Chains A and B, each alone.
Chain A
Amino acid sequence: MSDVVLELKDLHTHFFTDSGEVPAVDGVSLTVHKGEVVGVVGESGCGKSVTSLSVMQLVPNPPGKIVDGEINFKDENLVHASKKRMKEIRGNEIAMIFQEPMTSLDPLFTIGNQLIEGLRLHEKISKKEARNRSIELLKLVGIPRADQVVDEYPHQLSGGMRQRVMIAMSMACNPELLIADEPTTALDVTIQAQILDLMRNLNKEKETAIMLITHDLGVVAEICDRVVVMYAGKVIEEGTTREILKSPNHPYTKGLIRSLPNMKQKEQKLYSIPGTVPKPKMGRVGCRFAPRCEFAFERCFQEDPELFQLENNRSSRCFLNDETEGDVTKNAETTIRN
């Protein structure tokens, strides 16, 4: 596959706050190809949303700023794109479903107003046509009484209905790249399945590239081709969905998968990775996961692990994959087995 739609190269997005510089996105590289669905998972606060907002150039500035790196959308580095160009791109070539619908739905306008405006911005159609299209779109995402909802305000809708309005908006303009930030968190599983189907159709029929941020590993298994795992502002593991879910390499990914509640077992207490994410700050050395990692050894606290390339296009940012660390690796493997 060579049709790269989105390529992030060593992206750094920082926040300049009163209490110092926060490297929320700390050197993220990833690619999304045409017709591909890439899942992005990772600890709450690890920089997933800021990464996607960076692509859209929507990081609030100040305090946020892309300080380094490239965002290549096809042949264009968006870091240098003009405001005017970005406006053209947003909602047209790249659409985004935001994590919290209320951040992007205007409480003062009806659902119809917002959908119609969006449609007419990108297509020359009459108000009436746009209204009909809006109602169709609402029906498509499974909203009942769409002809009434179109005249209602966001606060009159349930959480999941708002989320679906956002999804309807994002799909309206046949984007080349869809960034979906936790698009189904507020949806019950039957509607979720319906929305995932819609996304899959968009992906198959129009070859839309999708970057799907989610914490739901079930959703990942369902729809993603590849998975990128992030931790503390960095990509720490990457691979095909099957490999990541079946045989995770990085200790964080392993912990994540172990934490899943399982419908079949009846354990009282769930596993959870001990400790919490350290405060993001500048100039940190060593593996970001070391304070919580059961396999950590001396080197982990002294050096930043690189992203080790493994077979099958997999990669993992963990020293246990370094062949020069023979002994440690063996020890770790015995620990895992026990």
Chain B
Amino acid sequence: MLPKMPKPLLEINGLKKYFDVKGGVFGRKVGEVKAVDDVSFTVMEGEILGIVGESGCGKSTTGKSILRLIEPSDGEVKFEDQDITHLDPEEMRKLRRDMQIIFQDPYASLNPRHTVEKIVGEPLLVHGMTSSEDRKKRVKELLEVVGLSGYHASRYPHQFSGGQRQRIGIARALANNPKLIICDEPVSALDVSVQSQILNLMQELREEFHLTYVFIAHDLSVVKHISDRVGVMYLGRMVELTDKDKLYEDPKHPYTQALLSAVPTPDPDEVRERVILEGDVPSPSNPPTGCAFHTRCPRAMDICKEVRPQFEEVEDNHFVACHLYT
């Protein structure tokens, strides 16, 4: 349960990230990919905010922009009431002790020439644990916490399976007892038993240290299990955000409805009504006018093609960007 007076730990206001699209012989800029296009949300201390959405809709870019691993094009990121978008690299480096990320692609994010000992121990060293004995001990501890063993410490990333690598990334993020962890698909490569072990661990850490997470994932049952609130993104924008129970019981945005109906269940007997999305996924470099979802929305109306729906609170604590509710 959340404490009585939760404070915001992270506040995102109007976050945007546009990437240049280059083309032609001279590689000139021919357009922009609006990977994140005006996203705002708040995460309370000790809260787990889940983020789901279509592949390519800007979830990872949002996560990396929050930590300024890529520079946002516009918008404000406040961490503990401090606007961090203008901090210099040295100040940012200090802050990263409190703000960690578990990257989506473990293979690309672990240095292949370093042993696990070095990879997980590095952040400890950077933030002042100079005794190599202490580091060794802590690394061993962290590996055990994520279901690996001390003997794994001397190995290199390529010697692990996909799920084991993912857990190395988790151990590294936990190393310095951060306050906030952006988890980008942290359990996507794990079998369900190891997955439940990691999810239980994350919950325990949250209870014990009041840790806060932004939890990006596409597995909706995992997100439902772990999150307090869930945000749904589509084409660079947040389209729905509310408590997890409300979202799953009463999804309002037609995209959320389609998403929930497409979850495969492990019960071979369950028959479900599926909303199949028609039409191509639109391009973030040339997003549809009005509501970005109108090209595929089964309930689109005339106004949807022209006017972009505002992201508004349509019920208590239930935010939706859709003309059906205005």
Residues of A within 8 A of B (CB): 15, 17, 19, 41-45, 48-50, 60, 99-103, 139, 142-145, 148, 151, 156-162, 164, 182, 185-193, 196, 215-222, 241-242, 245-246, 255-257, 259-263, 268-273, 276, 279
Contact = CB atoms under 8 A, between A and B. Distances in A.
Nearest to B35: A158
Contacts of B192: 215, 217, 256-257, 259-261
A177 B4 CA distance: 57
Interface in B284-318: 284-286
Interface in B266-281: 266-269, 274, 276-277, 280-281
B278 to A, nearest CB: 11
Given A189-B218, A189-B262, 15 more contacts: A45-B161, A50-B161, A144-B56, A156-B19, A158-B61, A159-B105, A161-B56, A182-B189, A188-B259, A190-B259, A218-B264, A245-B268, A260-B196, A272-B193, A276-B148
B196 A221 contact: no
- Place the interface of chain B in its size category: 35 or more
B53 interface: yes
B160 to A, nearest CB: 7
Contact of B104 (A50, A159, A279): A159
Q: Which of A160, A185, A189, A255 is most buried by chain B, counting CB atoms within 10 A of its CB? A: A189
Contact of B194 (A41, A43, A160, A193): A43
B222 interface: yes
A216 B264 contact: yes
Nearest to A101: B105
B220 interface: yes
Contact of A44 (B163, B276, B284, B285): B163
Contacts of B104: 159, 186
A143 B161 CA distance: 28
A19 B153 CA distance: 12
Contacts of A158: 55-56, 59-61
A103 B193 contact: no
B282 interface: yes
B54 A188 contact: yes
Contact of A148 (B61, B263, B285): B285
A263 B195 contact: no
A221 B200 contact: no
B26 interface: no
Contacts, number: 196
The 5 closest A-B CB pairs, nearest first, are A160-B55, A44-B163, A218-B264, A270-B196, A145-B283
A191 B224 contact: no
Contacts of B40: none
Given A272-B200, A279-B149, A189 B108 contact: no
Contacts of A276: 147-149
Contacts of A151: 23
B282 to A, nearest CB: 6
Contact of A100 (B105, B269, B282): B105
A263 B160 contact: no
Nearest to B219: A216
Contacts of B194: 43-44, 272
14 contacts: A42-B191, A43-B191, A44-B164, A158-B60, A159-B60, A159-B104, A188-B52, A188-B55, A189-B218, A189-B264, A218-B263, A218-B265, A246-B268, A260-B192
Interface in B128-185: 147-149, 151, 154-155, 158-164, 167, 185
B127 interface: no
B51 to A, nearest CB: 11
B9 interface: no
Contact of B262 (A102, A157, A192, A255): A192
Contact of B161 (A44, A156, A217, A222): A44
B221 to A, nearest CB: 5
Contact of B196 (A17, A190, A216, A259): A259
Nearest to B108: A102
Interface string B96-117: 0000000011111000000000
Contacts of A160: 55-56, 218
A133 to B, nearest CB: 18
A241 B280 contact: no
A219 B268 CA distance: 10
Nearest to B152: A279
Contact of A192 (B190, B191, B224, B264): B264
Contacts of B108: 100, 102
Contacts of B163: 44-45, 215
Given A161-B56, A221-B268, A44 B191 contact: yes
A103 B107 contact: yes
Nearest to B164: A45
A182 B21 CA distance: 30
B151 A272 contact: no
Contacts of B266: 217-218, 220-221, 245, 257, 260
Given A156-B19, A190-B277, A245 B267 contact: yes
Given A151-B23, A160-B56, A245-B268, A142 B281 contact: yes
Contacts of A17: 155, 159
Interface string B55-94: 1100111000000000000000000000000000000000
A99 B106 CA distance: 11
Contact of A190 (B61, B158, B162, B262): B262
B276 to A, nearest CB: 8
A19 B105 CA distance: 28
Given A100-B107, A215-B190, A221-B267, A144 B149 contact: no
Given A245-B267, A263-B221, A272-B200, A189 B188 contact: no
Contacts of A273: 193
Contacts of A100: 105-108, 162
